[in-house]
Structure 1
Amino acid sequence: MRALRTAPLFAVLLIAACTPEPPASSPDYPWHNGVVATTFWVGEVFDPDASDGSQVLSTYDARWQENYGGCDGVLSGGTCETEPRTAANDYFPTAMTPKHNPFYLDLPFDDLNDPLAFARRAKVVPWADQPGFRGRETDRGFSYLKNRWVQLRKDGRTCYGQIQDAGPAQYDDAEYVFGTDDRRPVNREFNGAGMDVSPALNGCLGFTDLDGESDEVDWRFTDDGNVPDGPWKRIVTTQPVVR
């Protein structure tokens, strides 16, 4: 039998000093279940007479279509239309190359331009006191939600996307967006939709409708470090608010 050899004390101390501490666990954000999700896309104009009827810009990016790289779909007679997305192309658009993450969505809390949401964002946003967010509640050029990751699931599929706009139809529904009791959205338009998702998320989640109001998802916030590799990480949007 070989004698058991032990490391010198200084080596043990050196190993201990070089071993990184495990990362702090992320908050367990609550699930919102069975929420109707409609589809929207960069460049869509569904109501030219409405102040929020165009996706040429977003609440967080005054040049959204330009910064994204163009119409997130196909141009038909000068109109930006959506298109089916498939795993064969990682659910990316087929007619253009996006500069930002095509896996995007919105939620009905505009923490930048809605006065009521802006006034209480530091009190209702769960990560408002984390480093990088703390103390910025009066900064009108900073959003607590833009680029935030969301986990979505539907019929056994799980996908991830980043927040890039606010809506649908409501902009201060903190009780639904940040609530822990699975509250229903205040919105009653579009079959009571509680979010819009991009064509990439539409395809990734296997929506029945290309542009409908009947598909439902479960969703929750998640932190950057908990987002696994996938097509949603081919391009990660880091651009801050654009006025």
Structure 2
Amino acid sequence: MFDLMTAPENAKVKVRASELNGLVSYLPPQEVLRAILAEEFEGGVGVVSSFGTESAVLLHMVAEIDPTTPIVFLDTGMLFPETLAYRDELQKRLGLTDIRVFTPDPEDHARLDPEDMLWSTDVDACCGYRKVAPLAKALEGFGAWINGRKRYHGDTRANLTVVEPDGDRIKVNPLATLDGQEIQSYFIAHHLPLHPLQKLGFSSIGCMPCTSRTAPGEAARAGRWRGSAKTECGIHLSEV
């Protein structure tokens, strides 16, 4: 018989994630967030945001519930300046009071990528020290974290659950069920500003060297790591 009291922490997280998913997976995104932020993990959850083209939707929902919620932003050192400006604009527009910026470790940078060209020879290693390692540090002390992934983005995201285990933490994907049209409608309904690069043909935005424009009809994330089999930076590929 499975004994939850004596089970390893990761096993307990899997059980709790499954329970929570059963409770909230049919709720609207705003209600999922309210349940997680104000009830289940009050004070113990962070929101991870790239401040990309669709980020304003999740951030607006969070701000309406609690604008003091910690927002984790990974500044990789290779982001578009427009993304940094958009972050500042959304922070002011939405009244977010706790944006926490995490950057790559300087020693890792000096050792692994002093010329800032690692992306051209080992893109996974570049993402590893610029994003995966900083996120691990950023999430210390949180029992859960929230992100803006959606099923309609396809690839590894096509079968997202609303709540899932992520090592010794719970990961929440409140927007998982929304499609592109619903995202656009939310922007319009709430008068949210677009990312400055969106009008130039960028539908999904990460680091400058690994982001390109998408053509009409292409998948939303087609411009990320174009020409390679890579579809995720690595922060969503941890073992559960």
TM-score category (smaller protein): under 0.3
Q: Higher RCO, 1 or 2 (CA under 8 Å, sep at least 6)?
A: 1
Larger Rg: 1
Give the structure with the larger helix fraction.
2
Q: Structure 2-normalised TM-score? A: 0.26
Q: Structure 1-normalised TM-score? A: 0.26
